[in-house]
Structure 1
Amino acid sequence: MDSSRVLYVTGWCRSGTTLIGNLLNELDGVVHVGELYYLWRNGVLRDGTNSTCGCGTPVLQCPVWRDVLEQVGGVDLVGTARAWMRAQQQLVRTRHTMARLAESSGRKTAPPAVRQLGDRMNGLYQAIRGATGARVVVDSSKYPAEAALLAGRQETNIRILHVVRDPRATANSWLRPKLYIPAMSPARSTLYWTGFNAASELICRMFPEISLRLTYEDFVRDPRRALRAILGLLDLDAEPPVDANRIASLGINHTVTGNPDRLQRGDVQVRPDDRWPAQLPRRAAVTATALSLPLLTRYGYPVTPSSKASAVRQGV
């Protein structure tokens, strides 16, 4: 049986996916490449503020990515990057998820452009395996339409991890800008939360056998249990790289973009960030709560933050 896998992480940002990916990166045979969707814009064209590889060098100077790009970039790397970005904009925005699901499920025939993008993505994953020696590629791009496109391709052998966090916690996080991205209003953040998670929900429903839903809250509460669930999804017999005190040691990674925390090295403790009930202004909390219903309660989050409820659940 082919042991090669792609773990595609979907959901909305500020949900702990960078740390989850970097923890998996510590396992033999697993490589976390960060938000691969932005390889071309940020890494190749440097048309963004997050163009450093996780190893600390610019993506184009990183030996791993130089090797990968030599295989998939062709003689005109800039032209390849621009063509890839056009395809992304035209075919795998969140609004395209339903169309990609219809094709992956066999209800419709995928247009040539969609098949070509799928071939290119599969070739990119293969090049990454070749450059790193990994069997499992963790892609934390979080674009549901990409996951939907890949779900019907047997050669990609995808597994889908849907990570969910309380929308009021993500709204609170988005109030503060990061080094590479500006702040966002609670209303806008929650509308994105709803759209990305609703799209991810559709994928998990259609492909439950290759999907796992995990809440951020369950992950930080018991990272060893959460990681075991992910390893089960990947058919990997390995020990979670976190000790009983929720401490892990992180080494070098080759993430192409993502949360600046991806550059962190050494010992880290997986700790909950539950500051939002005290920090998020009441009006913002009400807005986020209203805009996220009914998904808020579906995922086990209380309408008021007086109780905690959720569990690691497969598929649905």
Structure 2
Amino acid sequence: MSEVLFLGGLGRSGTTLVERLLGELPGVCALGEVVHLWQRDLRDDERCGCGERFSRCDFWQRVGKSAFDGWENVDVDRVQALRRAVERTRHIPRLAGAARPSDEVREYAAYYARLYRSAAEVSGAQLVVDSSKHSALAHVLRAAGGLDLRVAHVVRDARGVAYSWTKRVARPETDGADEMTRYPPIRSALLWNAHNAAFDLLARRGTPVRRIRYEEFLADPRAGLLGLADFAGLPLQPGDLDFLGLGQANLGIGHSAAGNPMRFTVGRLTLRRDDAWTRALPGAQRRLVGAVCGPMLRAYGYPLKHEETR
């Protein structure tokens, strides 16, 4: 039985930070956003979090050998076709309500189950962390055999998420040639509602889900990691969190397949909340996002009104 902690939530909510810190714990293998591995790594040969091209990363080559007898045996076209067929937000009601998953859902989920199992074997880890975030994928993984699946639902104030989606961020894996996707605030607000509601639905369908707020996690990352480790059934010893200091963490080299540029950070990482949105997101946009996301903001304990910070 493979033990998997899936980090879910809308992008720009802090999942990469949570993943990097979890990856420093003994017994944990953090894989990054596996959902993008098939295209960005197998097809495009982008850089792993360790800095090497995917095709030259010893860790991922050993995983591919163990899982599929070599990555060349993976039909990427088939994986992508399955993803288009079953892993879409609009499919979540069907995924959640089906008494029995379809053959396509089970086939798609099996690719992930084989990869998780092999990553655990190659790394010797007890717990594999996938920060793919996508709510539809989390629902699909319910159909994977041999998985002890637990989900950490990472939530951030919708207005902070909306502001982050407006910023220009270069993608280091393409040597700055491309930028990460950008969304206008109204679209990110609608996506914030949809994805967070999908994780609430996942919990109601019986999957173990623990919600964590980005702001609270950063205020006390030690307590946040202890809580997640306990949720995932990962025993820790005194000293396992020594990589955390006052307002900072010391990160080693990881093997994140895809994700936020933070996955390339090695050494000291400053831990502080990014509240730039409270002064940089225009008031009209801040109020619009607050109105659209108001009920769920309130349910998650966020104030509906924020004073601009200087």
Distance 2:148 2:70 in 1: 29
Say which of 85, 90, 106 aligns to 1:115: 106
- Listed one character per residue, the Cα deviations across residues 91-119 of structure 1 (whole Å, up to 9, x for unaligned) are 1112222222224xxxx121111122222
Please, what TM-score do these two structures have when normalized by structure 1? 0.88
Letter aligned with residue 84 of structure 1:
V
Establish whether residue 269 from structure 1 lines up as the match of residue 270 from structure 2.
yes
How far apart are the structure 1 equivalents of 2:144 and 2:67? 19
Do the aligned partners of 2:92 and 2:198 also contact (CA within 8 Å) in 1? yes
How many Å apart are 1:170 and its aligned residue? 0.8
Within 5 Å, which residues of 2 pair with 1:90-109? 90-103=85-98, 108-109=99-100
CA distance in 2, matches of 1:124, 1:8: 14
Hey, what does 1:15 align to over in structure 2?
Answer: 13
- Tell me the distance in 2 between the aligned counterparts of 1:98 and 1:155: 24
Relative to structure 1, the CA distance from residue 302 to residue 76 in structure 2 (aligned partners, 3 Å threshold; closer, same or farther) is closer
* Equivalent position to 1:60, from 55, 58, 65: 55
Q: Which residue of 1 aligns with 2:31?
A: 33
Higher mean alpha-carbon deviation, 70-79 vs 196-205, is at 70-79
Deviations along 1:117-155, one digit per CA (max 9) or x if unpaired, are: 222221111111122221211000011122122235561
1:135 correspondence with 2:130: no
Aligned to 2:176: none
2:187, 2:268 → 1: CA distance? 35
2:174 corresponds to: none
Counterparts of 1:87-236 in structure 2, within 5 Å, are 87-103=82-98, 108-151=99-142, 153=144, 155-180=146-171, 181-207=180-206, 210-236=208-234
Distance of aligned partners of 1:119 and 1:230 in 2 relative to their CA distance in 1, 3 Å threshold? same
**CA distance in structure 2 between the aligned counterparts of 1:33 and 1:235, rounded to whole angstroms:** 18
**For residue 161 of structure 1, what is the amino acid of its counterpart?**
A
The answer (yes or no) to whether the contact 2:113–2:145 under 8 Å persists in 1 is no
Secondary structure of 1:141's counterpart equals: strand
Instruction: Mark the CA change 1:297 to 1:149 in structure 2 (over 3 Å): closer, same or farther.
Output: same
1:169-189 deviation line (CA, Å, top 9, x unaligned):
011111112213132211111
SS of equivalent to 1:129: helix
Q: Deviations over 1:14-69 (max 9, x none)?
A: 1111111111111111011110000001001118xxx2100001112111111222
- How many angstroms apart in 2 are the aligned matches of 1:304 and 1:30? 39
Distance in structure 2 (CA, Å) of the matches to 1:115 and 1:131? 24
Aligned to 1:254: 255
The 1:43/1:131 distance shift into structure 2, 3 A limit, reads: same
Runs of 4+ in 1 over 6 A off after TM superposition: none
The change in CA–CA distance for 1:268 and 1:75 in structure 2 (over 3 A counts) is closer
TM-score, structure 2 as length reference = 0.90
8 Å CA contact 1:5–1:158 kept in 2: the answer is yes
Q: Offset at 1:197?
A: 0.8
1:163 partner amino acid: V
Coordinate RMSD, CA, aligned = 2.0
Give the AA of the match of 2:122. A
Alpha-carbon distance change, 241 to 46 in structure 1, aligned in 2, over 3 angstroms: farther
Match of 1:310 in 2: none
Specify the SS of the correspondent of 2:75.
Answer: helix
- After TM superposition, the structure 1 stretch with the greater mean CA deviation from structure 2, 111-120 or 246-255, is 111-120
State the percentage of identical aligned residues: 33
Map Cα deviations across residues 187-242 of structure 1 (whole Å, 9 max, x no partner): 1111111111111111123226x210000011111111111110111111214455
Specify whether residues 245 and 82 from structure 1 end up closer, same or farther in structure 2 by C-alpha distance, changes over 3 A only: same
- Assess, with a 3 A threshold, how the Cα gap between structure 1 residues 303 and 266 changes in structure 2: closer, same or farther: same
Are 1:26 and 1:241, in contact at CA under 8 Å, matched by a contact in 2?
Answer: no
Give the CA deviation at 1:78. Answer: 7.8
Distance 1:75 1:34, change over 3 A: closer
Q: CA deviation at 1:285?
A: 0.6
1:45, 1:78 within 8 Å by CA — same for their partners in 2? no
Any conservation in 2 of the 1:44–1:78 contact (CA below 8 Å)?
Answer: no
Asked if the contact 2:105–2:143 (Cα under 8 Å) also holds between the matched residues in 1, the reply is no
